[in-house]
Structure 1
Amino acid sequence: MATPENNQVIEPTPKPPSYTYVTVENPNTNITQILFNGANFNEWSRGLTLALLAKGKLGYVDGTIPKPATTAAEFEPWRSQNALVTAWLYNSLEPPIRRTISYRPEAKQMWVDIPLTAANTRKYADVNLVLTIVLIACSRTRLIIIIICIERN
């Protein structure tokens, strides 16, 4: 950027990566009101993207804040912030999805795996039965069990 006085070019100072700014945030916080249930990926990812962007943490899931070498001085602050973002991701999932994704070590890996895991969970959980009613009737001489299954359209 040129100044009017001497036409010198002044370059802006680059910001250091986000992990140098260790924040005091609660990992148990829900940073979005939208919980991912396997069918609302667009809505959930948009809400979470905006929340992470507002907190300066989007780079942990989109890869723009890279993992430093484990021997680098930045590794421990990065690891702490990555754990925070991973907890936020975990807390934004409905329990059935959460159980399938809980052991990802990095927020970026979890972010990539969530829609894939959810798709597989839905595929195997998508049964043709919506409701099963079991009626048990007892008479003096026999036990009668009636099972009524209502199929999904």
Structure 2
Amino acid sequence: MPADQDPATNPNSAYYLSNHDLNASKLVSIVFDGKCFNDWKRSMVIALSARNKLCFVDGSLNQPAANLANHRIWNRCNDLVISWMMSSLEPSISRSVLYLKTAREIWLDLEERFFHSSGPQLFSVQQKLCDLSQADDE
């Protein structure tokens, strides 16, 4: 991208906002209510990636310093991603993250509170398979 081109006008830039982006109040049909976090997260990842905004939640695009040219547009995009996230959260969950400043902070907070590793489930399935295997050997 040429140095003098505004990243907000480049469709390949994370700072680009289409009319569709600006008019979309919801990105995903799933409203996260505290259950099935992995389903909600996957839906959000797909939707954000399709709009080239995943970088606002995965930490790959940090907030520019206040004195840099992209600071205002970064804040605008971050706020849009936050609004998309908030509209996909059940009201009590939405209120619990309302005062976090970045989409990344909200993402990490939700992951910390609601992400559950499937390790115990995997162990249980492996144990059942082992039991079946032993029963077949008898």
Question: The TM-score by the shorter chain falls in which range?
Answer: 0.5 to 0.7
- Quick check: which has more Rg, 1 or 2? 1
In the alignment of these two chains, the number of paired residues is 104
Aligned-residue offset at 1:115: 3.3
Give structure 2 stretches of 5+ with no counterpart. 1-10, 116-138
Q: In the alignment, which residue of structure 1 is the partner of 2:49?
A: 53
Contact 2:31–2:90 (CA under 8 A) maintained in structure 1: yes
Q: In the alignment, which residue of structure 1 is the partner of 2:83?
A: 87
- Most deviating of 108-117 and 51-60: 108-117
Alignment of 1:115-134 (within 5 A): 115-117=111-113
> How many percent of aligned residue pairs carry the same amino acid?
34
Q: In the alignment, which residue of structure 2 is the partner of 1:105?
A: 101
Q: State the alpha-carbon separation in 1 of the partners of residues 108 and 23 from structure 2.
A: 20
Q: In the alignment, which residue of structure 2 is the partner of 1:12?
A: none
Aligned-residue offset at 1:26: 3.0
TM-align CA RMSD: 2.1
Please give the per-residue CA displacement for 1:68-104, whole angstroms capped at 9, x wherever unaligned.
Answer: 1110001011110000001111111011211111111
Amino acid at match of 2:89: L
Higher strand share: 1
Amino acid at match of 1:56: N
Aligned-residue offset at 1:64: 1.1
Contact 1:36–1:93 (CA under 8 A) maintained in structure 2: yes
**Structure showing greater relative contact order (alpha-carbon pairs closer than 8 Å, 6 or more residues apart):** 2
State the SS of the aligned residue for 1:18.
coil
Match of 1:32 among 14, 25, 28: 28
Amino acid at match of 2:34: G
